[in-house]
Copies of this chain bind each other. A is one copy, B any other.
Amino acid sequence: MLYDIIILGAGTAGISAYKEAIKYTQNILVINEGPWDTTCARVGCMPSKVLISSANRLYDAQHLDQVGIEAKIVADTSQIMQHIQQLRDRFSAATLKDVAKWPQEHKINGKAHFVNANTVEVNGQQYQAKSFILAVGSKPNINLEWQTHIGNKQLSSDQIFELEQLPKSIAVIGSGVISIELAQAFHRLGVTTTIFARSKKVGSLSSPYLQELAQNQLKKELNILFETLPDQVSLQDNQVKIDYTVNGKTESIYVDYLLNATGRTSLLSTLQLQNIHPEFQQIKSLPIHPDTKQLADYPIFVAGDAFSATPIQHEAAHEGRMAVHNCLNYPQISSIKTRPALGIMFSSPEMATAGSSHQHLTEQKIDFVTGQSSFERQGRAIVLGKNMGAIEVYIAKDSRQLLGAEFFVESAEHMVHLLNWMIDEGCTIDEILSKPFYHPTLEEGLRSAFKNAKIKLDQ
């Protein structure tokens, strides 16, 4: 039996691929190891957003003076982890229920590896297909040396949501998207939180101006040790002792847990791709095309976190869908990178990027102007007691089109959709400035940024 497509992995990308493929063929197989729900619902977007949402509500309640109210609040956060787990289970159940409806003959549970370019083996059985979608995802990095010293006191984002209680104290390693999101949320929930950051960069912003603004804002609230990593970790009285160096002097802290949020590793390594071609030994140097995600010239396509700079759910789902068409139309292959980028980091204020980042435009030597707008005196932001941060919009000098934007403001999750869709429409700055901006809204702050860019353009 020769399948039209075998999909390896049943996370966001794999499920999305299956749902698209089933519209065209019944001759498909999904092989998955472990739970048949998604990283997103089980250990990713959803539980982290529940944690963050609770933390921000508590923070806002504790800072009613921002809106002219003095208040005393006594909060009991002992049920937070149960709240997170309940909602997570609810979201996971929705996915599992969906997958349960698929015909049994389309699903195999087990760990697959390639035997050759059109054969995989799972549970001792071999299966052949005309094409493959590799949607095996990724797993969070763990420091193996630390593990020998502190064992399961080192947590990844896979384990953190399993805790029965909020810890009293935690050290977070990393200052990327996941680290800052989780560290800020734990801090706001009353957990004594220390962040160790290799560099000074926080989160996802590439604009030097916004990056500096974000560093200054976040270090006001959080205890971030920039350019500092643990020298060594050890276990003392059931606590993690972390030694690190500041100004040439060794300091130590004791924490309940160490959360390692230093990135994720692709699970492509589990697939024994070297059986397809001996040169496919090293995952990092795999010849995967950036636009089509095709593996060399095989009818094999990667989708989702298994090969991605940033794990983003809607990208994974999109790639899963698009990979199906490249499988079915093979050898006719199209680019799957058809939409402008859209990234959100749920820090407070939120960081977000629409379209091309400042870094990308600069590196590509695109001729653009930057429109900036601070939200410190933005009307609606003052009214909300959230007047901090800023945004930047990037406009092409020749076409006057909006190319990209970066945000470090309240409600960026909404405004980034607005500008992403405008980029997708190919709108110019003049078209955008002619649109309605309701008063008083944060969107008027966007208009200020466009007006700032227009002055520079018209000089």
Contacts and interface: CB of A to CB of B under 8 A. Distances in A.
Given A339-B435, A383-B53, A74 B76 contact: no
Interface in A28-49: 40, 45-46, 49
A420 B184 CA distance: 34
A80 interface: yes
A434 B322 CA distance: 12
Contact of A68 (B82, B442, B443): B82
A338 to B, nearest CB: 8
A64 interface: yes
Interface centre among A57, A60, A343, A442 (most CB of B within 10 A): A57
B342 A436 contact: yes
Given A54-B69, A417-B418, A438 B75 contact: no
Interface in A411-432: 411, 413-418, 420-422, 424-425, 427
Contacts of A424: 435-436
Contacts of A80: 68-69
Contact of A441 (B339, B379, B417, B427): B417
A252 interface: no
Contacts of A317: 439
A339 B436 contact: yes
Nearest to A66: B57
Nearest to A73: B73
A68 B49 contact: no
B61 A73 contact: yes
Contacts of A74: 71-73
A435 B322 CA distance: 14
A70 to B, nearest CB: 4
Interface string A110-127: 000000000000000000
Interface stretch (A83-91, A276-284, A364-372): A83-91
A58 interface: yes
B50 A383 contact: yes
Interface string A247-261: 000000000000000
A443 B339 CA distance: 17
Given A411-B414, A421-B418, A72 B71 contact: no
Chain A interface bracket (under 10, 10 to 19, 20 to 34, 35 or more): 35 or more
Nearest to A79: B68
Contacts of A238: none
A384 interface: yes
A378 to B, nearest CB: 12
A418 B382 CA distance: 23
Contact of A49 (B344, B383, B417): B383
Given A70-B79, A91-B379, 4 more contacts: A67-B83, A69-B80, A70-B76, A340-B436
Nearest to A442: B414
A437 interface: yes
Interface string A18-29: 000000000000
B68 A314 contact: no
A84 B435 CA distance: 30
A75 B64 contact: yes
A276 B53 CA distance: 60
A380 interface: yes
A64 B61 contact: yes
A440 interface: yes
A214 to B, nearest CB: 19
A440 B46 contact: yes
10 contacts: A49-B440, A50-B68, A50-B383, A53-B383, A68-B83, A71-B74, A73-B74, A340-B436, A344-B441, A420-B436
Contacts of A335: none
B344 A438 contact: yes
Interface string A320-360: 00000000000000000001101110000000000000000
Contact of A64 (B57, B339, B434, B441): B57
Contacts of A83: 67-69
A176 interface: no
B64 A71 contact: no
Interface in A303-326: 312-314, 317-318
A77 interface: yes
